[in-house]
């Protein structure tokens, strides 16, 4: 079974000193997500994404939930694939998700069949599609103080074990309104990290994630906001900048979006009513 890190020999140059040494790299390998339905021939590959091995079942469950394909009540089982067409050495790179019923119509995924870890898998191509699938986030009771916000990046960083070895992974963390970290996931793809986190919540019957905060180590993109919205997360914080479409999504669906959250400063792009400053 593949590990999240890979050892490699490198040449390090410091000043005029050159030396050979070994280093840890973040592993990047493909993961194929297959669906099986109620019928014997009811099966389909829905995505191939480049990811860091680990929490693969959560990644599959989170992806399917975010795309509106299958929620926690529709998944019967998840396992590594043992189909005859999959070579033994590739079985840990293929996940089969068994649904309780037939496979739904999936036309929106056709143009996103193959994806890289950088761009993620996104079936909803625009806000118009998202409006048909998701309702605005309820106002809820979540309130965040600046002190709580300022503590999120360091708590997420402390949970990044693989990043500490490689320096090359994105992370996503789920926090309570008091700033307590509930779970964190890492991946070479920032969207995969969010999918793993949502998959963890789905498999533990925690969805929707009302009154929770999602913190991501990179920028806040439309895809990340879409996945947070589908999971019911009312507030998303990012270390870097949001995109224009991410801000538009947050404002339209009643979400709080915080960017450039570093040390004791941040920018609030939407949902200031949840911030107690």
The predicted pLDDT at position 112 comes to 45
Question: How far is the C-alpha of 202 from the C-alpha of 266, rounded, in Å?
Answer: 30
Annotation-wise, does 261 bind a ligand? yes
pLDDT tens-digit profile of 239-264?
999 998 899 999 999 999 999 999 89
Task: Say if pTM beats, i.e. exceeds, 0.75.
Answer: yes
Annotation-wise, does 265 bind a ligand? yes
Annotation-wise, does 67 bind a ligand? no
pLDDT tens-digit profile of 155-189?
999 988 776 666 668 899 999 999 999 999 999 88
Question: How far is the C-alpha of 139 from the C-alpha of 236, rounded, in Å?
Answer: 14
Would you say residue 104 has pLDDT above 70? yes
Q: Which one is predicted more confidently, 55 or 114?
A: 55
The predicted pLDDT at position 175 comes to 98
pLDDT tens-digit profile of 195-213?
999 999 999 999 999 999 9
User: Are 246 and 255 within 8 A, CB to CB?
Assistant: no
User: Are 220 and 266 within 8 A, CB to CB?
Assistant: no
Enumerate domains of the chain plus CATH numbers.
29-131 (3.10.20.10), 146-274 (3.40.140.10)
Judging by DSSP bridges, how do beta strands 235-238 and 75-80 pair with one another? unpaired
3-class secondary-structure state, position 134: coil
The predicted pLDDT at position 16 comes to 83
Annotation-wise, does 229 bind a ligand? no
- Across 46-55, 100-109, 247-256, least confident range: 100-109
3-class secondary-structure state, position 75: strand
Q: Which one is predicted more confidently, 151 or 111?
A: 151
Per the listing, tokens 């929106």 go with 108
3-class secondary-structure state, position 230: helix
Give catalytic residues, as residue numbers: 119
- Across 104-108, 141-145, 260-264, least confident range: 104-108
Distances (CA, A) of 146 to 2, 99, 182, 262: 40, 43, 19, 11
Helix residue ranges, H only, the chain: 56-66, 127-133, 146-158, 161-166, 190-203, 222-230, 244-252
Q: Residue 111's pLDDT band (boundaries 50, 70, 90)?
A: very low
Question: How far is the C-alpha of 261 from the C-alpha of 277, rounded, in Å?
Answer: 15
Percent of the chain with pLDDT over 70: 90
Annotation-wise, does 43 bind a ligand? no
CA 70 to chain centre: 16
């Amino acid at each position: 079974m593949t590990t999240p890190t890979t050892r490699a020999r490198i040449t390090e140059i410091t000043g005029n000193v050159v030396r050979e040494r070994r280093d840890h790299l973040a592993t990047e390998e493909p993961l194929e997500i297959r669906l099986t339905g109620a019928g014997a021939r009811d099966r389909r590959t829905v995505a191939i994404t480049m990811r860091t091995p680990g929490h693969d079942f959560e990644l599959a469950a989170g992806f399917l939930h975010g795309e509106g394909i299958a929620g926690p009540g529709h998944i019967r089982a998840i396992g590594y694939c043992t189909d005859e067409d999959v070579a033994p050495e590739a079985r840990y790179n293929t996940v089969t998700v068994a649904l309780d019923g037939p496979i739904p119509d999936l036309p929106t995924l056709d143009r996103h069949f193959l994806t890289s870890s950088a761009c993620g898998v996104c079936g909803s191509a625009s806000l118009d599609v998202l409006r048909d699938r998701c309702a605005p986030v309820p106002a809820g009771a979540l309130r965040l103080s600046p002190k709580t916000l300022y503590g999120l990046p360091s708590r997420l960083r402390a949970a990044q074990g693989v990043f500490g070895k490689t320096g090359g992974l994105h992370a996503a963390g789920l926090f309570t309104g008091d700033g307590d970290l509930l779970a964190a996931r890492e991946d070479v793809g920032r969207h995969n990290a969010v999918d793993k986190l949502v998959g963890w919540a789905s498999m533990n019957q925690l969805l929707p994630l009302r009154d929770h905060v999602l913190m991501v180590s990179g920028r806040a993109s439309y895809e990340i906001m879409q996945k947070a919205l589908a999971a019911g997360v009312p507030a998303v914080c990012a270390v870097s900048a949001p995109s224009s479409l991410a801000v538009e999504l947050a404002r339209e669906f009643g979400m709080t979006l915080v960017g450039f959250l570093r040390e004791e400063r941040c920018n609030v792009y939407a949902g200031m009513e949840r911030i107690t400053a």
